[in-house]
Structure 1
Amino acid sequence: MPNRSSRAGILAVLVVVCAGALAPAAGPASADPAACAAGDPLRPQAELFATDNTAVITDPGDPRLQDRLQPFEFQVDAMVVTGMALPVGSDLLDGVFWSDTQQAVTYERSREFRLACVSTPDLRAIAERVRARFAQESVLIFQPLAADDPAADAVQVEVPGLDSRRLHDVLLADADAREQLSGGSVTEAGVGLLITERADLETVRRTVEKSGASWSSAAVRYGTRDFVEATGH
């Protein structure tokens, strides 16, 4: 993982690249400067969750789960820039996911990418390129919104102390949780991230409690989510 100073240097280069991308161009590609947060072009406006793994991993001690996904991080950052958006950070995650295709719960290393200056169509296009490039069933995107926004039909629940192994066992045993949540992730700081439809918040609460974490310490963020999948999936 780059240190703070090297990340700042990389970010400075990306800002220059994106600033150029926002300028008028002769070709058909263009970006919408209005997509940036007013007065703060580095403010994250969306999150993209992805991995380069395609294998089902059932052993929590599998060495592949130690991969820090650094080349993958820079590959996705480059795809974000060429997609007319700005990458402003990435966190490594330990995830547990349900694969519809393989009908299995798998452990998985993944990354959460934060994007700025990105419109919804560009975000979906970037997610589709990431999905196709790394042969993924789907790529999850989340855009935070105010709780009273009519479009806020999803939630991201952040839960300190969530354990990925116990979450794995809960999903394996609970078909409703698998269907509604599709999985969840845990940051290196031990904070669980569960993203689902707003109507399924009770399922999140039940899953958190079954996993041994405290629901009273959970924080709920509102927004909209989507799984960007292959056409016809």
Structure 2
Amino acid sequence: MNHTTAPRGLRVLTTALAALTLAIAGTQSTYASPGEQSCPTTAELFATDNTAIITDPDDPRLDTRLTRFGHEVRAIIRAHGARPGASELLDGVFWSTDLKQATFERSREFDVNRVGRDGLHHIAGVIAKEYDQEAVLTFRCLPRTSPETDAVEIEVPGVTPGDLRAALLADAEAREKLGGGSVTLDGRLILIAPVADLPLAKRFTAVLGADWNEAQVRYGDREFVS
């Protein structure tokens, strides 16, 4: 197995695609979406305590359940005035342009309630510093028409980490523009993308063999906090 430890400058919280972040700006999507879904939580944090680049999908570090990390992050959320909710394990698959191969990461999504924009930003900054991460991704659920809305969170069932890896290896455009994504243990792909990039998200789900009609789409504000 290949274990490569990243220097501090490369320790990027790739969970930012723990959810998948589509980095290309574009015009407003003309694709039909499954419609705006209600939000089960005020906001979400995507985080890990991993500081290594893992290139082997069978690396035993990917089997961790991040139990202690989960308890610690909930304590941080609570200590800074918000209410922690549920947390879910994620398997991330990301393309490294430096290594020219797929990398892998185990992370967690945390629901956060009773929190505003500034409070969420502060909590994410504390987590990034505590666990030596360059950035922590946040998503704050908002109405589609809110002036602060700039992103969508998309969940699509029927995807495995192996599917995601194969799709990235086979699709050069996806590797360059999408970078990667994350999958829950029960097989739901999670993508977080700019609102304007819904067409890219829809195309990528089709490449993965997932059914866009089963997708859930939520609108909100995303931020990478360091």
- The match for 1:188 is 185
Which ranges of structure 1 fall in alignment gaps of 5 or more residues?
1-42
In 1, Cα distance between equivalents of 2:151 and 2:223: 9
In 1, Cα distance between equivalents of 2:71 and 2:184: 19
In 2, Cα distance between equivalents of 1:100 and 1:208: 22
In 1, Cα distance between equivalents of 2:89 and 2:130: 19
The AA in structure 1 aligned to 2:132 is A
What does residue range 90-105 of structure 1 map to in structure 2 within 5 Å?
90-98=87-95, 105=102
TM-score calculated relative to the size of structure 1: 0.73
Q: Pairwise CA RMSD of aligned residues?
A: 2.1
Q: Could you say which structure has the greater relative contact order, defined with CA pairs below 8 angstroms and 6 or more residues apart?
A: 2
Contact 1:80/1:86 (8 A) holds in 2: yes
Which ranges of structure 2 fall in alignment gaps of 5 or more residues?
1-39
Figure out how many residues of one structure are paired with residues of the other and give that number: 187
In 2, Cα distance between equivalents of 1:228 and 1:139: 5
- The match for 1:213 is 210
1:199-223 per-position Cα deviation (integer Å, ceiling 9, x unaligned): 1111111211112222222121111
- The match for 1:39 is none
Is 1:44 aligned to 2:41, yes or no?
yes
1:3-55 per-position Cα deviation (integer Å, ceiling 9, x unaligned): xxxxxxxxxxxxxxxxxxxxxxxxxxxxxxxxxxxxxxxx7210000011111
Equivalent position to 2:225, from 221, 225, 228: 228
In 1, Cα distance between equivalents of 2:58 and 2:192: 25
Q: Please identify the structure whose Cα radius of gyration is greater.
A: 1
Q: If each structure's helix is expressed as a fraction of its own residues, which one has the higher value?
A: 1
Equivalent position to 1:162, from 152, 159, 162: 159
- 1:94–1:131 distance in 2 versus 1, CA, 3 Å: same
Contact 1:86/1:116 (8 A) holds in 2: yes
- The match for 1:199 is 196
What does residue range 1-233 of structure 1 map to in structure 2 within 5 Å?
44-98=41-95, 105-172=102-169, 174=171, 176-178=173-175, 180-229=177-226
In 1, Cα distance between equivalents of 2:222 and 2:105: 20
TM-score calculated relative to the size of structure 2: 0.75
